[in-house]
Structure 1
Amino acid sequence: MTLFTGLAAVAHAQGMSVSSSAFADNALLPAIHAGAGDCGGTNTSPPLEWKNLPQATRSVVIKMTDPDGAKGGGVVHWIAYNIPASVLSLPAGAGDKSGDQITVGKNVSGAAAYRGACPPVGDTPHHYVITVTATDLDPGRLPPGLDAAGLAVALAGHTLNGSTIVARYGR
């Protein structure tokens, strides 16, 4: 019996997942989470929930990219970090700007903000990959103002596990 208990604990540790109450994996992103103006939305970050963080997790990082953007070169729409491991979800809009338990990094335009989906008119719907990463870094350890490259350097050797969810959006 003890053997099975140990196996269940290992499976649980490896079963990190991320979901959203706004869309299912690989489904359409609701327009509210798209860019403002002609993009059809209000630049409101989507609600997210994550489960089964590794036991050593101290903080969580969120990154949203559009690998189809910039003609296949990829676009970073959202970076959020310094989220304590005790926080297991963000409601819609909670990731739009920095606050007590979240630091929002620089998106593709250099702004420390959530940047909603906004593919070119007529393109096949783009894929928006949202990755939640568990880290062994204490909340608040990473400085404000990181972009994707700076965050990657800061996370080197500190990631424990991650999970993704994909949304699609076209106009």
Structure 2
Amino acid sequence: MTLERPIAPDPYELLPTVGSFTLTSDDVHNGEPMDAAYAHGSVGGDNVSPQLAWSGFPAETKGFVVTCFDPDAPTGSGFWHWVLVNLPASVTELPRAVVEGALGGAFSVRNDYGQQGYGGAAPPAGDRPHRYLFAVHALDVERLDLSPDATPAYVGFNLAFHTLARAVIRPTYQVKE
């Protein structure tokens, strides 16, 4: 059964305008359904983060944050699937099933599953396709002054003051009834 509710806005369209750059992936693509490998185990997925690569960001970039957000979750506040902070400016690609400990001190804050790291797509069965916004935020600082206990909302608040440019890929995922 599809939940009857309006389509949520793209949250990045509601934030102050910043520059853009190129984000590509061998695994996920704009407007296309994701493979079950990138879905959460609760819906039969492998819970593997997709490969991501980025280029063309501002020369003054000092660090990156990678996020994955579902604005279509039936929560009133969306659903954070991944918030990877404090990537060094030298990191411009994440492999599929990234191991975060090897990323120059970068770490994930708790996602909305209550766990650190990537948590795959898991929309309600029978709901319309959900959008998953994989974003890379180019920062004007090397590190955000945050700990792994920070919430995704607090990371977003800090990003509002330090994002030079942003690149986004918006694949979809749906669980059939």
Shorter-chain TM-score category?
A: 0.7 to 0.9
Instruction: Quote the offset at 1:152 in angstroms.
Output: 2.0
1:148 to 146, 152, 162: 152
The alignment partner of 2:50 has SS state of coil
1:169 to 159, 168, 173: 173
Return the alpha-carbon distance in structure 2 between the equivalents of residues 158 and 140 of structure 1: 8
Instruction: Quote the offset at 1:100 in angstroms.
Output: 3.8
Q: 1:72/1:168 Cα in 2 relative to 1: closer, same or farther (>3 Å)?
A: farther
The yes-or-no answer on 1:51 pairing with 2:55 is yes
1:31 to 26, 32, 36: 36
Determine the structure 2 residue equivalent to 1:62. 66
Q: Which has the larger radius of gyration?
A: 1
Q: 1:139/1:99 Cα in 2 relative to 1: closer, same or farther (>3 Å)?
A: farther
Note if contact 2:47-2:120 (Cα within 8 Å) is conserved in structure 1.
yes
Aligned residues: 156
Instruction: Quote the offset at 1:15 in angstroms.
Output: 5.1
Matches within 5 A, 1:83-162: 83-94=87-98, 97-101=100-104, 102-139=106-143, 141-162=145-166
What amino acid is aligned across from residue 18 of structure 1 in structure 2?
Answer: L
Structure 1, 53-62 or 136-145: larger mean CA deviation: 136-145
Report the RMSD for the aligned CA atoms in angstroms. 1.9
The alignment partner of 2:132 has SS state of strand
Over residues 26-79 of structure 1, what are the superposed CA-to-partner deviations in whole Å (9 max), with x where a residue is unaligned?
Answer: 111111010014x12111111101111111111111111111102553111110
Note if contact 2:61-2:89 (Cα within 8 Å) is conserved in structure 1.
yes
What amino acid is aligned across from residue 43 of structure 1 in structure 2?
Answer: N
**TM, length-normalised to structure 2:** 0.80
Return the alpha-carbon distance in structure 2 between the equivalents of residues 71 and 154 of structure 1: 23
Residue ranges of structure 1 left out of the alignment (5+ in a row): 1-13
Determine the structure 2 residue equivalent to 1:17. 22
